[in-house]
Amino acid sequence: MTLWFVFALMTVAAIFAVLWPLGRHNRPQAEGNETAVYKDQLAEIERDLAAGLIAAAEAEAARVEIGRRLLASAGSEPTPVMRSNLWWRRAVAAFALVGLPLIALAVYFPLGSPQLRDFPLAERTKTPDVKQPLENLVAQVEQHLEKNPTDGRGWNVLAPVLERLGRYSEAVRAYRNSIAYNGENAERRADLGEAIVAAAGGVVTGEAKSEFDRALALNADDPKANYFLGLAAEQDGRTADAAAIWRTLLAKAPTDASWRTLVQASLARVGGAAPALSDETMAAAKEIGEDDRDAMVRGMVERLASRLKQNGSDVDGWLRLVRAYIVMGERDKARNALTDARQAVANDAERLRQLNEGLKNLGLDG
Amino acid sequence: MIAETGHYALVLALGLALIQSFVPLIGARLRDAALMNVARSAALAQLLFVASSFVALVALHVTSDFSVANVYENSHSMKPLIYKITGVWGNHEGSMLLWVAILALFGGLLASVGNNLPLSLRAYVLSVQAWVASAFYLFILATSNPFLRIASPPIEGRDLNPVLQDIGLAVHPPMLYLGYVGFSISFSFAIAALIEGRIDAAWARWVRPWTLVAWIFLTLGIAMGSYWAYYELGWGGWWFWDPVENASLMPWLAGTALLHSALVMEKRNALKVWTILLSILTFSLSLLGTFLVRSGVLSSVHAFASDPTRGVFILMILCVFIGGSLVLYAARASSLKQGGLFAPISREGALVLNNLFLTTACATVFVGTLYPLGLEVLTGEKISVGAPFFNLTFGPLFVPLMIAVPFGPMLAWKRGDLVGAAQRLLAAGGAALVALALAWAWARGGSALAPLAIALAVFVIVGALSDLAERSALFRVPFATAVRRARGLPRSVWGTAFAHAGIGVALIGIVCETTWNSEYIGKIKPQDVAKVAGYELKLEGLTERQGPNYRELTALFDVSLDGQPLRPMTPSKRSFSTRGSSTTEAALLTRGASQLYISLGDMADDGAITVRIYHKPLVLLIWWGPVLMAFGGVLSLSDRRLRVGAPKPARALRGLQAAE
């Protein structure tokens, strides 16, 4: 409501700016004119002459020239200001009163978002925003990596989360950094390839394919690399090759492998025989996405916990940890963390106060 | 609420600009003072609303409100505060808002200090300002709105282009815009004169301070941009004949011509129609510059298609204003009365010559900038017009201009005495010959033309000084009297001398830097020594450091000259992980006006690093020159006195020509 009040005030101010001169009495106004300029020029010549900057003959010539201009301008001065034209003034006043607000609203409504309040960053990090715990955590890990870009474990954690959030090209960069600082293995190479495929909208590009080839060179049985090489063959139109790759993969696969269904479905797509599936496996396969995501969050929370064990003075960190446990539904761990936090800051009255206040905000006893 | 209030303030400014664009016109036709005065209060209110809109955007950037798309795309919460503020105009939408804010500032200034103008002229001028303003408000609101929101705001922004995270961004664009937009006032004055059908010496007196202000800021803005490119891009170049640079040079050339022709008009009531045309052209070139830089047409013709609405919108503004004003000019110019007469050899004649050279130079740059674009649009063929073209065309135009510069102030108004002027320039000519001999004796290698160019520059500088000496009668009267006379000289005379000397100073810098610049480019390992122009630079070591939003690799060089140790130099390289890009921070060691310049390249696996080391003799003169010119402009601006060109009385009436 305040917003509309401010808008109304601003509109009134704008209308007033138009109405104010219209309402004033028509006093004769101080107005510049050419005659004044030429008179000043004449005075200037006298000054220059006195200072010896110009000779007497030149001054005389200049006087004659300016005198001519003075005469000409006096002849062509515009007619003096007429009495007010009441009809036009009323029309303009009416237009300002009605037209200005109409124009303003007509332009503002399609463009503006009056229903959105401001979101300055300082305010947002203070209040817990349970809707986006993942994005918040990602941002924190990114900030951490900004300062410690060689922390390979950080990149390892960040990369799959970025991929899940659909930030594929950033995920590619994270995987590359992970390989650079953790060393390469078949799994990381295959993950990188997968991210490149995702960034390319599902097409197995040459760049991605070379990553899968490297993965196979490190471990010929890596399932992800094998699967994507099959996909590459399918996309190249070599369906027979694709089927062969996937059949070999299924033959070597452990019976409880979570990706079995995916490979079997792909095999069926290219016309290969797919063995029947148990309902149980199907159900398990559906769960994968959710589980993986949880695992990521858990990994990050655990990292936070271990950091706090080493350095317990970070009140905000403790609060985040407690909140994370609550969100994950692990109230016992939350209680343990709370006790740890109290112990860690017990010697510092100011921090203890902050901690207790924060806990109150979380709905836990202070 | 800040975001929406800022947005609404911008919309209200549009409404006020629309009213301001026709009500004062009607008032001026009816000679109704109240209606004409609407222009004034509306312009002031417009300034208030646009300023609050701009302040709102700054506040949003400072508080990192990522619910605003513009902030999200161009800011980052960890950026230092100064770059959060400068980042406001480091992007398309924000810089357009700055553009209209400055336009409103000039409108507001004219409304508040323009009491010495006839009421109707002020009403017309402010109306024309409001046309320009309305067009740009519409452009911003329709295609480049900085206040659009994101319903579920992201937690972190995308950061500003690292090259722009520099103090240069704080100064360069506002200055340049003050220059570009300042010329809108002389444009509005010209259109007002055409509509009213009245133009005379008084008009030139009224428009003078505005043109000067715009010219001063444009001069400083260009010089600042050039220095920024010099130290930030890491190549040691200071002018690339890049289309963006040319876009700012063209209004400067036309604006310089305008300053000079307006002078003739104010003092002698001549060259009126030409001055009007130059006013129109200067602002048109400013608009063209804005179009070239802001539509994306420059980076590639194909970038145009990436956001066609923006490009097409500015192109429409361009066509309406340039086309409309030229049509109006064609229709009304013949009805303007002719002015004073003068002989070809006279101060007026010299200024006409100056105008001819400056406008031709401007046309050269125009062709060199737009021809490749046109060719690519029509045939798809890509060519690049670079330094060779401009050096071959621009250089020959500037040499005769520079020779003529010292003669101008020496000639009398209306009919001059070339021989007399030449005699008075004997001292300058002598100084030039001495400089030529010295330069030839000292020069080792380099172009044979370089000493000649230095002689020319010395001629210009000493010529400007001898004008001062001549007017204060130095060496002819006792010294104390001369000093008194010099202090009594109009400040505009001092301004002229400073501005003209500034060109010479800049020319010396340009010639020395391009001719006797020495460089060392190669790989260097810690404890290795590189030798450049007698300096010995030893790489002591490389260290890594963490900045607020980047990592920095710094090299430490010990510099010595003939065994004498000097200040150590620390060039560095910053990598920004948010954007995955890096910048070079060159190290500069200033000795007098010369500089030693080191920038870092890539690091090899064996611990060696590529470095570029330059010794640039007298390079700083390139920027001191424009600063001198701008200072001359300020002196001239502070001269509130009226100007009169006292014509030399005729002995015979032969050889006179009409002004136009």
**Mind listing the pLDDT tens digit for each residue in A23-33?**
876 555 667 77
Q: Give the per-residue pLDDT at B325.
A: 94
Picking from A17, A34, A45, the nearest residue to B644 by CB comes out as A45
Higher pLDDT, A47 or B329: B329
List the one residue out of B41, B9, B35 whose CA is nearest residue B22. Answer: B35
Q: Is the domain of A137 the same as that of A186?
A: yes
Question: Is 60 exceeded by the pLDDT of residue A275?
Answer: no
> Can you tell me the mean pLDDT for A215-225?
86
Q: Is the domain of A175 the same as that of A257?
A: yes
Picking from B154, B580, B644, the nearest residue to A66 by CB comes out as B644
- A6 in a structural domain: no
Q: Is the domain of A222 the same as that of A351?
A: no
Cross-chain Cβ contact B156/A21 below 8 Å: no
Share of chain A above pLDDT 90, in %: 10
Task: Round to whole Å and give the CA distance between B600 and B612.
Answer: 6
Three-state SS annotation for B409-430:
HHCCECCCCHHHHHHHCHHHHH
Confidence band (pLDDT; 50, 70, 90) for A207? confident
- pLDDT tens per residue across span A157-190: 888 888 877 788 888 888 888 888 888 888 888 8
Q: Give the per-residue pLDDT at A277.
A: 42
Instruction: Show the beta-strand stretches assigned E in B75-202.
Output: none
Task: Round to whole Å and give the CA distance between B61 and B2.
Answer: 11
Question: Is 80 exceeded by the pLDDT of residue A224?
Answer: yes
Q: Give the per-residue pLDDT at A282.
A: 46
Q: Is the domain of A297 the same as that of A273?
A: no
- pLDDT tens per residue across span B212-245: 999 999 999 999 999 988 988 777 788 888 888 8
- pLDDT tens per residue across span B614-635: 999 999 999 999 999 999 999 9
Task: Round to whole Å and give the CA distance between B62 and B54.
Answer: 12
Q: Give the per-residue pLDDT at A125.
A: 63
3-class DSSP assignment, residue A85: coil
Cα torsion angle, B404, B407, B412, B415, sign: negative
Query: DSSP character for A78?
Result: P
Q: Is the domain of A259 the same as that of A338?
A: no
Task: Round to whole Å and give the CA distance between B168 and B90.
Answer: 11
Share of chain A above pLDDT 70, in %: 83
Cross-chain Cβ contact A88/B32 below 8 Å: yes
Rounded to a whole number of angstroms, the CA Rg of chain A reads: 39
Q: Is the domain of A267 the same as that of A306?
A: no
- A137 in a structural domain: yes
Q: How far is CA B344 from the centre of its chain?
A: 31
- A84 in a structural domain: no
Question: Is 80 exceeded by the pLDDT of residue A357?
Answer: no
- pLDDT tens per residue across span A92-140: 999 999 999 999 999 999 998 888 888 887 776 655 444 455 666 777 7
Q: Give the per-residue pLDDT at B657.
A: 43
CB proximity under 8 Å: A 73-92 to B: 73, 76, 78-82, 84-85, 88-89, 92
Q: How far is B580 from chain A (nearest CA, A)?
A: 9
Q: Is the domain of A197 the same as that of A302?
A: no
User: What are the extents of the domains in chain B?
Assistant: 1-165, 172-417, 425-516+621-638, 518-616
Q: Is the domain of A145 the same as that of A243?
A: yes
Q: How far is A89 from chain B (nearest CA, A)?
A: 7
CA dihedral B116, B117, B122, B128 (to 10 degrees): -110
- A323 in a structural domain: yes
Over the range B88-101, which residues count as b (16 or more CB within 10 Å of their CB) and which as e? bbbbbbbbbbbbbb
* Chain B residue whose CA is closest to A11: B12
- Domain span at residue A192 reads 131-279
Bridge partners, residue B565, by sequence: B560
Q: Is the domain of A190 the same as that of A300?
A: no
> Can you tell me the mean pLDDT for A87-92?
89
Taking CB atoms and an 8 Å cutoff, what residues of chain B touch A122?
63-64
Q: How many domains does chain A fold into? A: 2
- A203 in a structural domain: yes
Q: Which of A256, A279, A302 is the last residue of a domain?
A: A279
- A213 in a structural domain: yes
Question: Is 60 exceeded by the pLDDT of residue A276?
Answer: no
3-class DSSP assignment, residue B98: helix
- A186 in a structural domain: yes
Q: Is the domain of A199 the same as that of A305?
A: no
CA dihedral B135, B136, B141, B144 (to 10 degrees): 130
- pLDDT tens per residue across span A302-344: 777 887 777 777 777 888 788 778 777 777 788 788 888 877 7
Q: Are the C-beta atoms of residues A345 and A312 closer than 8 Å to each other?
A: yes
Q: Is the domain of A156 the same as that of A249?
A: yes
Higher pLDDT, A216 or B17: B17
Q: Give the per-residue pLDDT at A364.
A: 62
Q: Which of A124, A146, A175 to mutate to test the interface with B (most CBs of B within 10 A)?
A: A146
Q: How many residues does chain A have?
A: 366
Q: Which of A252, A279, A306 is the last residue of a domain?
A: A279
Read off the CATH number of the domain in which A169 is found.
1.25.40.10
Q: Which of A232, A260, A279 is the last residue of a domain?
A: A279
Q: Is the domain of A259 the same as that of A319?
A: no
- A177 in a structural domain: yes
Q: Give the per-residue pLDDT at B99.
A: 94
Q: What is the mean pLDDT of chain A?
A: 79
Ranges of chain B with pLDDT below 70: 296-308, 337-339, 578-579, 640-660
Tell how strand B609-616 and strand B594-603 pair up. Answer: antiparallel
Query: DSSP character for A258?
Result: T
Phi, psi of B616 (to 5 degrees): -120, 100
